[in-house]
Structure formats: C-alpha cells, structure tokens
Structure 1
C-alpha cells in the first residue's frame, strides 16, 4: 500500500514508519521538518497542498498532535484553542481534505487521557476526546473509506521524560503501538479506538 504518514519524525512516527516499511508498504513521510515532505498540518491550506503534492494514497496515518500541559487553573482559553488546533482540527483536516485522495483508511492518534485523566492534562483530555468522537461520527459517513484511532498510554521508551505524568499507569512499548496502526491500516474495522 502507499501510505501517507504524518508526524513521521517523532518518537511514535519513527516507530510506525519502521514497522510499515518492514511490512513492505510504500511510505511517504511528512513532518514540519524532516521527512520526505515538510508541511504544518495545523494549517488547513498546507493540508490541502499536501494532498495535491502527494496525489492518491491507500491510507493516511497520523502520529502528530501537540497539546499544552499545565494545571487547569493556569490553562487559558488560548491553551485550549491550541490543543484543539494542534491535535483535533489538524487531524480533521487530514480526513476532510483526504476524502478524494484516499482509497482505504485514515488512522488518527488520541491517547489514554480520554479515559484516564491526569493532573495538568485537561487540555489533552479535551483534545483526545474530541478526536475519538470525530472518529466514531466520521466512520458512519465516509464508508466505504474507513477511519480508526490509536489511543496508547505512555510509551515505555518515554518513561524517563513523561513517566511522572502517568502515575500508576502501565506503559506500552512503541512496537505494540505500531502494531495498532498496522491493525487499523491493514484490517477491515472502522470507527474503532485501539488501546494498545
């Protein structure tokens, strides 16, 4: 399959890229810097231009999404808007603009904070929940195209940096998260939230 991988140079994107290449897929990598193509997917105009450049693909996989981390009393309305732009609207734009360029599926990224909130994670919880709700709604409208999301907890490989934010939560190896992407891309389910 020809797969467009967004956020391909980050920790998760790198793991997903390696797994997809190992499975003999033709992967076009996208990131703000690095990758085959450089685009900022928080800008809808750049998303539209990305698809014009890439043309038709079998699948889109997103491993991109940024949100602010602050105690709730310090979060501003702008912080919430940044979370929605950085993780929700960027991925919604990938789907909206991709409807005429994708022949198979979309796989988006959310996270454990949808179902297991933590201190300083209110903006992330809001964004993740919105992405998951969008996936379920889009699945019933875009058929025969498919759409799913991957919702991991903290990565085992990132515990040294992020472990303190996820007390008592079992970490997940990046290899397991990459397998969830494979399941979404190569499988036949739609409207699913995979929790590796």
Structure 2
C-alpha cells in the first residue's frame, strides 16, 4: 500500500512507521524533516501535498496542535488554534483528499482521551477531539467508493509522561507502540466510523 502519514516525525508517527514500513510505502508529511512539507492549517499546503503524492491507498493523521490553558483566561484566539489545526486541519485532509484516495482506501484521524476523561486546562483540546470523533462517525455513512474512515484516541503516552504527568494526575499512560497498533488496525482492517480508544 502507498500511505501518507501526517505527523510522521512525532512519537506516535515514528511508532506507526515502525509497524508499517516493511510491507508498505510510507510517504511522510510534516512541518519539517519529512518527505513532503505540510502545514495542515493551510488549505493550499494540503492541496500541494496531494498534488505531489498523487493517488494513495491511505492517509494517516497523527498530528494536530491544540491549545492548553485555563478556561478562565482562554480567549477566542487561543481556542481558534485548536480549531484551525486539530479540527479543521484533519477535516480538510479528508475533504481535499477524497479524490486522491483509491477505491476502498482509508483515512485514519486522531482524537484523544480528554474528550472522555477531562483534565484541567484541556477544554479546547477536548472540544476538537470530540468534534473529530463526531465527524468520523458521520462521514462514514456517506463517504464514497468504499473508502473507510476511523479515528484513534490515545491516552497520554508513556514516552511523554515526564513532561505531562502533572496534567494527567491519576492516569495510566500507554506506550506509543500500543497506540500505533490501533492505527494499523484502522488502515489494514475492515471497520469504518470507529474511534479506537487506547486508554
């Protein structure tokens, strides 16, 4: 399979590559250090990426910035960061990518545990995670040509625990390898409209 992986340079992205690269052609996309440079907040950048890669069998997204900060001081501009990147960015990768996905191909997007298990300062991130889950569930019933769409919802990662432990008090972090396996299930399996929770 020919697979585009957005967010390939991140911890989850690298774990996904490790699971898929032996049997599939992975085209990495990221802001830097990838096969294709991509700013997922830019429609023009997304269009340029698809024009460059041509037809593909799957698109995986393991990226998307979201704002973290106290609700009391969060501004509309702060919240817009989450909307432009993790919400609209992922949706636009689907909307603009439909013509570039082979029949029976797939999209796999990323959400996150905070939509189900909130943390302080995570309201904006939780909102966009829930929006992606709803988009995936709805899009699955009308996406054409047998194309499938799912999302993966990771817990906080073991690899990032030292950095984020104070935010995720009482959580049990998961290894990136386990999260990557859910992406593999989405790409190589047969389900659609699912949100695979790795909690």
TM-score by length of 1: 0.97
The Cα shift of 1:49 comes to 1.2
The Cα shift of 1:79 comes to 1.1
Which residue is 2:187 aligned to? 185
Partners of 1:62 and 1:179 in 2: CA distance: 14
The Cα shift of 1:17 comes to 1.4
Which residue is 2:143 aligned to? 142
Partners of 2:83 and 2:139 in 1: CA distance: 17
Q: How many correspondences in the alignment? A: 195
The Cα shift of 1:18 comes to 1.5
Which residue is 2:46 aligned to? 47
- Unmatched 5+ stretches in structure 1: none
- Unmatched 5+ stretches in structure 2: none
Partners of 2:147 and 2:111 in 1: CA distance: 20
1:1-196 to structure 2, matched below 5 A, reads 1-22=1-22, 24-103=23-102, 104-143=105-144, 144-196=146-198
Partners of 1:105 and 1:141 in 2: CA distance: 13
- Render the CA deviation track for 1:41-76: whole Å, top value 9, x for unaligned: 110111011101100000000011101110111110
- Render the CA deviation track for 1:112-164: whole Å, top value 9, x for unaligned: 01101100000100110111010001101104110000001100111001121
CA-atom RMSD, angstroms?
A: 0.8
TM-score by length of 2: 0.96
SS in 2 for 1:29: strand
